[in-house]
């Protein structure tokens, strides 16, 4: 507490800080002046049908021939979500990806884990996701579902995530927020907007004391962001966005399956869900610590009534101390167990320390957009030229040393060993992309969508002593095509086809692979999607889509010289049906509801027993229903609830272990009123209202380890926000 008090004192100028639940996202258009806004603490989340930037087509949500989810800041706040893992529960197509307390969060879309280096954007510019996420300055999170080769070039086929930050508004305001939770955590946050002549300035600052339901998983974080905008000429606008985020928290590793039949492989779910156990609670354990900075600047110029040019530049830097008492395998049984734990709950613990991980990422994007009339058809053209580069520089050595064996039922203290004996690997990556897309109005009810992106990618890596160098270059082209038809007003039927591509090199480990360091040919994923969107009124959108994604993977053949990794050795097919209803049903009821049925199976593999098996950690059925309702008998009072359900999530590659079906209910209550002419809002949210214990995910990592992560026990969060 003394440490937290010091931080509060250090940032005294921003004391009394808070989050803002403000202006409709959909009203943010590319107008030629700062948009007006009435700032209030809203009594219901704004679930507007907006114009998502992530698709790149410039269409409204109802006319975009793709599946896009938009999680606005006020929707996230109304649900009580304070992290990415909690926010993505609002859509059934999104899921965790090795998400745990005190570590960097990722996600999967349509069953595919997103690549942290290639599947994330910030205000439309590529960034790396190797850093904890701060939500305080995010206006919305946009998720494009499915293959995104046109929008991002080389990337995983699940989708593309765009974090859109808050921008300066026309009217000055300052809103403060103070929050706390039942674990003992607390946060203060300020969102302040002002104008200085032609300049608009918006600042978000937050300080948080982190307390987790897991044992010995305390931490802290500090965040500051500023957004600037000014108009150089009536046709030219300059914007800038900067933020700093520091997070320090003891992380929580996953558990494994128990080896019940003593064959050396974990094959049984533990009978108990260990919702509070943290095997990283060793006397020598140190917290995971990350410091990140982002800076972006963009120039928007209206050439004439038909054409516009945009130029953006982004820089990102992260510095991480990755430290963990890592449980992995079990050596106390007659047969060494891996992956998994011994039948009695024994597990080996390793002292892992990778200090001073430095990652730098730069990107730029130049776009020219305009309208032309050709052959009697209105067309909208978009030309893009972009580039990005990233580098990872690690300390010469890291530690990964056996510390001893503990037990998940009776943990014991073990001696640490932080000796850095293992060499690290440094990486470099560059890409240059050229893209073009065309939207044509074939008739008053029919539009065609065509696009193509060509990416020139360069990658290299070497051990920290200069050994085992790898370098390669490759050019990849990813096309996309779609067609939409509006048979009646407010309804659109669409179909699309597109490709994405991924590149891979064999790990440079001669003891394991027969072709260490070999560069593998690019693998192309392919998606087909058909769907319908219905907008019965302006703030409600109902949609349904069916998709199929075929993705090839590299696979290993056993040889006398080790595993021979072959590009395209196996493949998987993800087929699914998604249905969503988002928006205001009436003046009192708002909905964010979705349902997904998905079948994800391996279709080819060197191991014939794998063919026809379900891809692990993907539910067959998943549903999410969030509803917010204003109670008419008390003005300003509203209630909300989030119900989530999933079933059919496989844990092991042979399908022998499946997570039990899981459901969870969250609930919230908000009251808004005026005091001395200022709007105040009081919020109370309860996560996991019924305090259910269940295993929420079981990801398999690239090294073969299978890890179980539990649900969050009942957690109460309270927040008050008020205008200053």
- Residues 79-116 have pLDDT tens digits of 999 999 999 999 999 999 899 999 999 999 999 999 99
Quote the strand ranges of 264-306, DSSP E: 288-302
Q: Which helix (H) or strand (E) holds 17?
A: none
- Averaged over 27-53, what is the pLDDT? 46
Burial label, 465 (beta-carbon count in 10 A; 0-12, 13-18, 19+) = exposed
Instruction: Supply the pLDDT for residue 459.
Output: 87
pLDDT of residue 4: 39
Please report whether residue 137 resides in a domain: no
| Antiparallel, parallel or unpaired: β 236-249 and 199-210 | unpaired
CA gap 61, 533 in Å, rounded: 9
When pLDDT is cut at 50, 70 and 90, the band that residue 48 belongs to is low
Tell me, yes or no, whether 71 lies in a domain. yes
Residue 572 domain flag: yes
| Whole-structure pTM value | 0.92
Rounded distance between C-alpha atoms, residue 441 and residue 138, angstroms: 34
Question: Which helix (H) or strand (E) covers residue 439, if one does?
Answer: strand 425-441
Residue 386 near residue 357, CB atoms below 8 Å: no
Query: 252-309: per-residue pLDDT in tens?
Result: 999 999 999 999 999 999 999 999 999 999 999 999 999 999 999 999 999 999 999 9
Taking the mean position of all CA atoms in its chain, how far away is CA 36?
Answer: 30
As a whole number of angstroms, the distance between CA 181 and CA 467 comes to 49
| φ, ψ dihedrals at 629, nearest 5° | -130, 130
DSSP β-bridge partners for residue 361: 316, 390
Q: How confident is the model at residue 701 (pLDDT cuts 50, 70, 90)?
A: confident
Q: What is the pLDDT of residue 260?
A: 94
Q: How far apart are CA 649 and CA 659, in angstroms?
A: 6
Rounded-to-integer distance, Cα 184 and Cα 252, Å: 18
Measure the CA–CA gap between 634 and 620, rounded to whole angstroms: 42
CA distances from 201 to 164, 195, 228, 354 (A): 16, 6, 5, 38
Rounded CA separation 373/352 (Å): 62
For the chain, what is the domain count? 1
Average pLDDT (376-382) is 95
How confident is residue 210, by pLDDT bands cut at 50, 70 and 90? very high
DSSP annotation of 26 reads G
**CATH number of the domain where residue 518 is located:** 2.40.170.20
pLDDT digits (tens, 9 = 90+) for 146-185: 999 999 988 989 999 999 999 999 999 999 999 999 999 9
Quickly count: other Cβ atoms within 10 Å of residue 489's Cβ.
7
Residue 86, phi then psi, degrees to nearest 5? -75, -40
Cα 402 → chain centroid: 33
Q: What is the pLDDT of residue 44?
A: 45
Is the residue at 660 inside a domain? yes
Please say if the pLDDT value at position 41 is more than 50.
no
**Distance, CA of 540 to CA of 266 (rounded, Å):** 47
The conformational region for residue 614 under phi > 0 = left, psi -120 to 50 = alpha, else beta, is beta
Q: Render pLDDT for 629-667 as a digit per residue (tens, 0 to 9).
A: 999 889 999 999 999 999 999 999 999 999 999 999 999
Mean pLDDT of 586-614: 95
Minimum mean pLDDT range among 9-18, 279-288, 410-419: 9-18
Residue 214's pLDDT band, with cuts at 50, 70 and 90, is very high
What is the pLDDT confidence band of residue 468, given thresholds at 50, 70 and 90? Answer: confident
Calpha distance 282→5 (Å, rounded): 26
* Residues spanned by the domain of 669: 2-130+145-723
pLDDT tens digits for range 516-559 = 888 888 899 999 999 999 999 888 999 999 999 999 999 999 89
**E strands of 87-213, at which residues?**
94-96, 107-109, 112-113, 120-122, 125-126, 138-145, 159-165, 173-181, 186-196, 199-210
Give the residue from 717, 663, 662, 711 showing the smallest Cα distance to 686. Answer: 717
The strand pair at 519-537 and 112-113 is best described as unpaired
Q: Give pLDDT, residue 19.
A: 31
Res. 45 pLDDT band, cuts 50 70 90: low
Least confident residue range of 470-474, 609-613, 691-695: 470-474
Q: What percent of the chain has pLDDT over 70?
A: 93
Q: What is the mean pLDDT of the chain?
A: 90
| Alpha-carbon gap, residue 161 to 69, rounded angstroms | 10
Confidence band (pLDDT; 50, 70, 90) for 51? confident
State the Cα–Cα distance between residues 706 and 255, nearest whole angstrom. Answer: 8
Q: Which helix (H) or strand (E) holds 655?
A: none
């Amino acid at each position: 507490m003394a440490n937290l008090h010091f931080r509060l004192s250090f940032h005294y100028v921003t004391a009394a800080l808070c989050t803002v639940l403000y202006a409709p996202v959909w009203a943010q258009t590319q107008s030629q002046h700062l948009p007006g806004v009435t700032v209030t603490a809203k009594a219901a989340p704004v679930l507007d049908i907006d114009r998502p930037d992530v698709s790149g087509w410039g269409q409204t949500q109802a006319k975009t021939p793709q599946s896009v989810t938009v999680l606005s800041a006020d929707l996230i706040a109304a649900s009580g979500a304070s992290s990415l893992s909690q926010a993505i529960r609002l859509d059934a197509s999104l899921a965790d990806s090795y998400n745990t307390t005190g570590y960097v969060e990722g996600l999967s879309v349509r069953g595919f884990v997103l690549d942290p280096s290639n599947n994330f954007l910030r205000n439309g510019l590529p960034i790396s996701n190797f850093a904890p996420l701060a939500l305080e300055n995010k206006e919305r999170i946009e998720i494009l579902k499915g293959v995104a080769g046109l929008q991002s070039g080389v990337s995983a086929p699940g989708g593309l995530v765009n974090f859109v930050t808050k921008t300066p508004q026309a009217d000055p305001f300052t809103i403060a927020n103070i929050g706390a939770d039942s674990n003992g955590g607390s946060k203060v946050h300020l969102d302040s907007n002002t104008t200085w002549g032609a300049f608009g300035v918006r600042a978000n600052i937050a300080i948080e004391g982190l307390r987790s339901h897991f044992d010995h998983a305390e931490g802290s974080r500090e965040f500051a962001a500023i957004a600037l905008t000014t108009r150089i000429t009536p046709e030219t606008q300059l914007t800038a966005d900067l933020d700093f985020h520091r997070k320090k928290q003891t992380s929580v590793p996953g558990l494994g399956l128990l080896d019940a039949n003593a064959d050396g492989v974990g094959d049984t779910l533990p009978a108990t869900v260990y919702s509070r156990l943290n095997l990283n609670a060793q006397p020598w354990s140190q917290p995971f610590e990350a410091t990140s900075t982002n800076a972006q600047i963009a120039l928007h110029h209206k050439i004439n009534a038909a054409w516009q040019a945009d130029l953006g530049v982004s820089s990102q830097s992260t510095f991480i101390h990755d430290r963990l008492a890592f449980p992995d395998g079990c050596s106390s049984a007659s047969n060494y167990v891996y992956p998994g734990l011994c039948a009695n709950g024994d597990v080996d613990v390793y002292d892992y320390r990778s200090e001073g991980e430095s990652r730098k990422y730069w990107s730029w994007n130049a776009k020219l957009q305009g309208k032309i009339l050709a052959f009697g058809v209105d067309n909208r053209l978009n030309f893009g030229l972009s580039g990005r580069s990233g580098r990872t520089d690690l300390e010469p050595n890291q530690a990964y040393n056996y510390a001893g064996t503990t037990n998940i039922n009776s943990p014991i203290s073990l001696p640490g060993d932080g000796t850095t004996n293992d060499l690290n690997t440094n990486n470099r990556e560059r890409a240059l992309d050229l893209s073009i897309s065309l939207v044509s109005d074939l008739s008053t009810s029919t539009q065609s969508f065509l696009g193509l992106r060509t990416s020139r990618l360069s990658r290299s890596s070497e051990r920290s002593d200069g050994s085992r160098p790898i370098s390669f270059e490759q050019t990849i082209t990813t096309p996309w095509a779609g067609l939409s038809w509006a048979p009646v007003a407010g309804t659109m039927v669409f179909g699309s086809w597109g490709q994405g591509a991924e590149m891979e090199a064999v790990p440079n480990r001669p003891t394991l692979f027969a072709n260490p360091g070999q560069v593998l040919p690019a693998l192309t994923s392919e998606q087909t999607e058909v769907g319908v969107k219905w907008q019965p009124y302006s703030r409600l959108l109902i949609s349904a889509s069916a998709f199929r994604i075929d993705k090839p993977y590299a696979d290993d053949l056993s040889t006398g010289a080790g595993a021979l990794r072959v590009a395209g050795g196996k493949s998987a097919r993800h087929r699914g049906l998604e249905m969503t209803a988002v928006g205001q049903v009436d003046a009192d009821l708002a909905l964010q509801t979705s349902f997904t049925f998905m079948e994800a199976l391996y279709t080819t593999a060197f191991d014939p027993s794998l063919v026809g098996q379900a891809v692990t950690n993907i539910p067959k059925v998943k549903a999410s229903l969030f509803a917010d309702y204003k109670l008419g008998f008390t003005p300003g009072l509203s209630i909300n609830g989030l119900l989530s359900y999933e079933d059919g999530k496989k844990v092991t590659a042979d399908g022998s272990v499946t997570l039990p079906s899981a459901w969870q209910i969250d609930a919230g209550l908000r009251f808004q009123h005026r005091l001395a002419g200022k709007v105040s809002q009081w919020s109370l949210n309860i996560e996991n209202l019924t305090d259910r214990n269940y295993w929420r995910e079981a990801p398999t990592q690239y090294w073969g380890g299978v890890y179980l992560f539990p649900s969050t026990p009942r957690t109460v969060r309270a927040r008050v926000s008020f205008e200053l």
